[in-house]
Amino acid sequence: MGGFQNIGKIPELKRRILVTLALLAVYRIGVHIPTPGIDGKVLAGIFERAKGTLLGFFDMFAGGGLERLSVFALGIMPYISASIILQLLTVVVPTLERLSKEGEAGRRKITQYTRYGTVIISLIQGLGISIGLEQMRGVAGEPVVFNPGWSFRIMTMLTLTGGTSFIMWLGEQITEKGIGNGISLIIFAGIVARMPNAIAGTMSLISSGEMNWFVLILLLAMMLVVIAFIIFMETSQRRIPVQYAKRVVGRRIYGGQSTHLPLKLNTAGVIPPIFASSILMFPATIASFINHPYMKTFAELLTPGSLLHEILYVGFIIFFCFFYTAIVFNPDNVAENMKKYGGYLPGIRPGKKTSEGIEKVLSRITFVGALYISFVCVLPTLLVKEFNVPFYFGGTALLIVVGVALDTIQQIESHLILRHYDGLVKKSSRIKGRR
């Protein structure tokens, strides 16, 4: 408890935490403000039937805003998509690559491009959602939209784009004036906000006799084990020893010391399961809206829990783990920088051989990280299928929640240690963070 008590002794840290909580509260209020022109009850019934499809997946990132079609219905996904697109373009577009190497000024320029991309993606998605809503019907054939037409479409586009832009601004304010990464914390808040309903649903199953206490205790114990496993894997590193040769500059001698190059076991983070889920759920969602026997069969084959879905899911996760790691980590650049400052791997020549050595180690740990992510993401499907668990256990949601919690705790600890206070955990078990 000493670590938590020390938070109140640092006015700046206390202020940052309060600002973060206040801005997250604003976000949660906005999730409950509906977009005009929508029959909320009919839409809720459609989403109840759409669990396990692309709609349910995006609703998780929107914190329930898509289910209500609130002003924050698009959530922060357009910003994430724009950021990923800019990262991919940085590798292939020389102008963006130069900007990424220009320090703070270049990063500000790329951030500005990301904002423009977010607005464009939001407008396109808003138009698609408005047209899709006009086609939707409830169980009795009742329409979702009261007055369909271009007036509704334009209003929905502007409303949803404005909501996403406001969320993006909130995330930037949290990062600048609060504690932790603002965008990650907004996703975190949206996922955690659904826990009370999940707990209430579980207790109702127990009271009705559909689930017994032994199964619940077993699931809670398994959840704790999985969370501990995720924390261990997210903080795991492969440290490659690096030796720096001595350099004489004037009358001073630099280098000559031994250090290490830390490589994260999970360099790609939660991007692989997000991409894999989107790719698999998109055709299944489209097929579910087409009233044809072949389309219904196709949708069932790609339903979470089916053998084909799980095999493809794991395959896509492994592929995107290697693909995204190759984008964000370049062994050639690392080897070149090490060579520039007189660094080398013991027993390996500087330059190309060093790059090959780093790439070999990175490929091995990336494969282990891909298997770990696949296990955590497939686990909830098995639990739902075998135990009929009424809430989303594990998977992408749990990876995000645990990862964001680790990063936020690490930042709080940094503030405490900077001012000579003990952290939230003991020194022997201090959280390393995911960076």
112, 235: one domain: no
Inter-CA distances, 38 with 29, 66, 286, Å:
19, 12, 22
Distance CA(349)–CA(246), nearest Å, equals 16
263, 352: one domain: yes
121, 167: one domain: yes
161, 67: one domain: yes
Percent pLDDT > 90 in the chain is 12
The band of 205, judged by pLDDT with boundaries at 50, 70 and 90, is confident
236, 363: one domain: yes
- 416 part of a folded domain: no
19, 153: one domain: yes
pLDDT digits (tens, 9 = 90+) for 46-94: 776 666 555 666 666 666 667 777 888 888 888 888 888 888 788 788 8
Cα(first)–Cα(last) distance of the chain, in Å?
26
134, 246: one domain: no
Mean pLDDT of the chain: 79
CB 8 within 8 A of CB 171: no
- The last residue of one of the domains, among 165, 193, 221, is 193
pLDDT digits (tens, 9 = 90+) for 87-135: 878 878 888 888 877 777 888 888 899 999 999 988 988 888 888 788 7
Cα dihedral sign, 115-119-124-125: positive
CATH of the domain at 137: 1.10.3370.10
Distance CA(430)–CA(328), nearest Å, equals 27
Residues in Cβ contact with 407 at an 8 Å cutoff, skipping those fewer than 6 apart: 180, 181, 184, 433, 434, 435
Find the helix or strand (DSSP H, E) in which 16 lies.
Answer: helix 11-31
Dihedrals phi, psi of 329, to nearest 5 degrees: -130, 115
261, 159: one domain: no
| CA Rg value for the chain | 24
- 45 part of a folded domain: yes
289, 383: one domain: yes
Count Cβ atoms below 10 Å from residue 156 Cβ, excluding itself.
Answer: 24
- 373 part of a folded domain: yes
- 205 part of a folded domain: no
- 407 part of a folded domain: no
- 29 part of a folded domain: yes
**What is residue 240's predicted lDDT score, i.e. its pLDDT?**
86
- 217 part of a folded domain: yes
Domain count, the chain: 2
DSSP-derived 3-state class of residue 111: helix
130, 21: one domain: yes
Cα dihedral sign, 258-103-19-165: negative
262, 387: one domain: yes
- 340 part of a folded domain: yes
Q: Which domain holds residue 46?
A: 7-193
Residues in Cβ contact with 226 at an 8 Å cutoff, skipping those fewer than 6 apart: 376, 379, 394, 398
29, 152: one domain: yes
